[in-house]
Chain A
Amino acid sequence: MKDKRLTIALAGNPNSGKTTVFNAITGARQHVGNYPGVTVEKKTGSTTHGDVRLDVVDLPGTYSLTAYSIEEVVTRNFLLDEKPDVVVDIVDSSNLERNLYLATQLMELGVPLVLAFNMSDVAASRGYNIDEEKLSELLGVPIVNTVGHKGKGISELLDAALVVAGKTASKQRYPNYGGEIEPHLLQLTELVEQKCSRQRSRWFAIKLLENDAETIKRLGQVCPEHIEELTLEAERIRKHIESVCGDAAEIIFADRRYGFISGACTEAVTQSVERRHERSDKIDAVMTNRYLGLPIFAILMFLVFQLTFSVGNPVVDAFDGWKGDLAGAVSGLWGESGADSVLRSLLVDGIIEGVGAVMVFTPLIMLLFLAIAFLEDSGYMARAAFVIDRLMHKIGLHGKSFIPMLIGFGCTVPGIMATRTLETRRDRITTILVLPLMSCGARMPIYVLILGAFFPERVFKVLGIYNVTNQALWLFAIYAIGIALAIVCAKIFRATLLKGEATPFVMELPPYRMPTIKGLAIHMWERTWLYIKKAGTIILAIVVVLWALAYWPKLGEEKLGVFEQQRAVVQAEKQADAEQIAERLEEIDNAEHEAKLEHSAIGRVGKTIAPVFRPCGFDWKISTATIGAFAAKEVFVGQMGVIYSVGEEADEESEPLREKLAAKYTPLIGFCIMLFSLISMPCMVTVAVTVREAGWRWALLQVGYLTVLAWVLTTIVYQVGSRLV
């Protein structure tokens, strides 16, 4: 028997709990990609219900189907072009009127529709009494109560979806626009039907009257010979409506849709008290207080790093230990004669040291993503935008630009994608240009490596209660430097290349919600998995290349012989005690290691470029790792791992990378490495996304200005610092 296959599209306002319903339907069977041609995230998943296989598409969260934002365009085009078998509109039942606005548009579009009244438990506890049966009758659409995060009503929702799937929506109602408008609308609808499209003719007519550019373009493609006639007629009616009603046609339409909803709700919903925001308003009285808001924000940010560090570090240390054990075990397979084995060196010095160096930081990355997911899911992210608006206003942006920047702390790439929500291109470009200064998760391993090597952990007591480590303070300082630079750079861009007035800032504040463990886990895992995947693919490839460059060409027998002789001389000395001999042997080993590296391809390349980085205090090893970081920031760590282990006879006693670095460099150089990594050119993926989002000129500018800025600042710090210390 061949199973039936249906496509369900999930639509809904942002913050309606759409994602929790999607998670409840599909579980872990999810796939995240992009809509073709744009960088709006497309989430798909699948499940079976009865004997039907369901492909579920999670559409972007939108308030309406007007083509103002790219999300709305994507949603609309998906509904028009892909024609899903059924659309489920997820409605926040504690905020019916505003959420049903999208539903009225879906009804006008004539798609097979089911309404999921989500968070119905919250609505009930807040004093809403909804007569779903009556409302369903008034709207002509099936309604199912759901509680997304508890998985309640999901099965019933799918039952209802299967019933309406693929059927023409005959019973659905839609708003009546009243005596002044309906006759004209009907006339235009008939005209569209005759000349252009028999399907969705009423919807097209409404959009023509709303002067919707996307729709005019679409109709122009369907019937190029009639589009002028249609737009002229629409223009005429629009003028008429405006003269009769005193407002632009699209405003009247919006107003009447709300009127239609409000009419239905008055009949079917009783409300004992207005309490949806009671608790949220109380929390907000503190969180968004004009004096407390900013300090609270700063403290929260600090706690994020403190938590990440204090919980994550011991785990990273444990992972590091296991990596050492693994290297020793693999190395042991070759026994005594293993020193010359190319395969042993590839496995141990290349793959385990290189990829391992990146992988051991996975716990930290996970914690950071967990913290960001918490800020997003709880609703605090929008408050941060509010609190920071005044500061952002000073640099010519507004609070909304700050959300992509906060996401950028996790990873710059989704941050750049999140700039899609900004209305003007000017704001978007400015935000994209400074986004890489928001220190991303992939830079964390560099900081942790450096801090662990040069700034041994010390614990302070703050207010006699909280334990704060100096490492967390350093980390916080690095992030703060990034933010400060972003502010200065944004200001400069807004005053020079991207001049213009600040754009209007309107944003909805969702009520605070306690994030669910499942939701947090899914969000955290999605992003962490990308990190792990990157380590297993791109980084693995780069590390193997780097290993080869560090392994060949090998030092000649003649030169190796010199070190052998020296060792023999030291061992032959009878007077010296054992300790002295061991020390001198180690010196010789190190010298041999250096010589081998300098002879290798990477050594030669490094030596060539080293002069450029000398003013920053970097030797050729750091210089090559800095260049390698262009592929992915965390490659820096991997590359240092490779450089410091190739040519060394790795065994269980080989010291961790941190100790090698601590022995070789000063804390000042350590700080310079962090500073340079923070600012310098964004990674390959970021550049690629910037090219796609803003064009290659801006991408080039981004790479250029950041690299120059990094070099100049690091040089200043190193030069001043080395004279002071």
Chain B
Amino acid sequence: MNDRNNNSLPTIPLAMTLVGQTVTFAGVRNAGRGLTHRLAEMGLAPGENLEIINRGPGPFIVSVKGSRFVLGRGMVHRILVRPE
């Protein structure tokens, strides 16, 4: 995966975070090039901070670069983040 922010903290799935927490995006498990690129273009590149705004019944709402994104139920289990 990405090594630019190679700090010693382990990564956890986004699904394990709590509302109000700010975490660092680390990557997506089993993601093809297309998905990773698309996320990067939306502003969700490795090293980017994201804040968990809301967790609904499955999907999450997160804040990235001042925008709100819905990440679906499948995605929140595959996205890896580092807690601050």
Interface residues of A (CB under 8 A from B): 63-64, 66, 68, 95, 97-98, 101, 210-211, 245-248, 250-251, 254-255, 258, 274, 276-277, 280-281, 284-285, 288-290, 293-294, 382, 385-387, 389-390, 393, 398-400, 501-509, 511
Of the residues B56, B65, B78, contact of A290 by C-beta under 8 Å: B56
Asked if A255 contacts B38 (CB within 8 A), the reply is no
- A68 neighbours in B (Cβ, 8 Å): 34, 37-38
Q: Does B54 contact A (CB under 8 A)?
A: yes
Asked if A98 contacts B34 (CB within 8 A), the reply is no
Complex interface bits, B53-84 against A, C-beta within 8 A gives 1, otherwise 0: 11111110101011111111111001000000
- B18 neighbours in A (Cβ, 8 Å): none
Complex interface bits, B3-41 against A, C-beta within 8 A gives 1, otherwise 0: 110000000000000000000000010010111111111
11 contacting pairs across A/B (C-beta < 8 A): A246-B2, A248-B36, A251-B37, A254-B45, A389-B59, A393-B73, A501-B74, A504-B35, A506-B69, A506-B70, A511-B68
- Chain B's nearest CB lies how many Å from the CB of A11? 15
Expressed in whole angstroms, the Cα–Cα distance for A277 and B54 within the complex equals 13
- B78 neighbours in A (Cβ, 8 Å): 504
Of the residues B4, B41, B53, B67, contact of A64 by C-beta under 8 Å: B41
Which residue on B lies nearest to A256, using beta carbons?
Answer: B45
Most A C-beta atoms less than 10 A away, residue of B38, B54, B58, B71: B58
- Chain A's nearest CB lies how many Å from the CB of B54? 6
Expressed in whole angstroms, the Cα–Cα distance for A97 and B44 within the complex equals 13
- B34 neighbours in A (Cβ, 8 Å): 68
- A398 neighbours in B (Cβ, 8 Å): 72-74
Most B C-beta atoms less than 10 A away, residue of A68, A97, A288, A504: A504
Asked if B72 contacts A251 (CB within 8 A), the reply is no
**In the complex with contacts A66-B37, A246-B3, A504-B75, A280-B68 CB distance below 8 A:** yes
Total inter-chain residue pairs, C-beta < 8 Å: 144
Asked if B67 contacts A508 (CB within 8 A), the reply is yes
Asked if B40 contacts A254 (CB within 8 A), the reply is yes
Expressed in whole angstroms, the Cα–Cα distance for A508 and B62 within the complex equals 10
- A246 neighbours in B (Cβ, 8 Å): 2-4
Asked if A506 contacts B38 (CB within 8 A), the reply is yes
Asked if A251 contacts B46 (CB within 8 A), the reply is yes
Expressed in whole angstroms, the Cα–Cα distance for A142 and B28 within the complex equals 38
Asked if B37 contacts A288 (CB within 8 A), the reply is no
Asked if A505 contacts B37 (CB within 8 A), the reply is no
Asked if A254 contacts B72 (CB within 8 A), the reply is no
Of the residues B40, B67, B70, contact of A251 by C-beta under 8 Å: B40
Asked if A506 contacts B75 (CB within 8 A), the reply is yes
Asked if B37 contacts A250 (CB within 8 A), the reply is yes
- A506 neighbours in B (Cβ, 8 Å): 38-39, 42, 69-72, 75
Expressed in whole angstroms, the Cα–Cα distance for A285 and B46 within the complex equals 28
- Chain B's nearest CB lies how many Å from the CB of A210? 8
Asked if A98 contacts B58 (CB within 8 A), the reply is no
Expressed in whole angstroms, the Cα–Cα distance for A501 and B46 within the complex equals 25
- B36 neighbours in A (Cβ, 8 Å): 248, 251
Which residue on B lies nearest to A505, using beta carbons?
Answer: B72
Expressed in whole angstroms, the Cα–Cα distance for A98 and B64 within the complex equals 9
Asked if A255 contacts B40 (CB within 8 A), the reply is yes
**In the complex with contacts A248-B36, A285-B54, A504-B78, A386-B70 CB distance below 8 A:** yes
**In the complex with contacts A505-B59, A505-B75, A248-B33 CB distance below 8 A:** yes
Of the residues A247, A281, A289, A293, contact of B53 by C-beta under 8 Å: A281
Of the residues A247, A277, A293, A501, contact of B4 by C-beta under 8 Å: A247
- A504 neighbours in B (Cβ, 8 Å): 28, 31, 35, 72, 74-75, 78
Asked if B58 contacts A390 (CB within 8 A), the reply is yes
With A502-B74, A508-B42 known, 10 other A-B pairs at CB within 8 A are A211-B33, A247-B4, A251-B46, A276-B66, A277-B63, A281-B53, A398-B72, A501-B74, A502-B72, A508-B68
- B47 neighbours in A (Cβ, 8 Å): 255
- B42 neighbours in A (Cβ, 8 Å): 63, 98, 506, 508
- A289 neighbours in B (Cβ, 8 Å): 56
Asked if A386 contacts B56 (CB within 8 A), the reply is yes
Expressed in whole angstroms, the Cα–Cα distance for A364 and B68 within the complex equals 35
**In the complex with contacts A98-B67, A389-B70, A63-B41 CB distance below 8 A:** yes
- B3 neighbours in A (Cβ, 8 Å): 246
Expressed in whole angstroms, the Cα–Cα distance for A248 and B4 within the complex equals 12
Asked if B41 contacts A97 (CB within 8 A), the reply is no
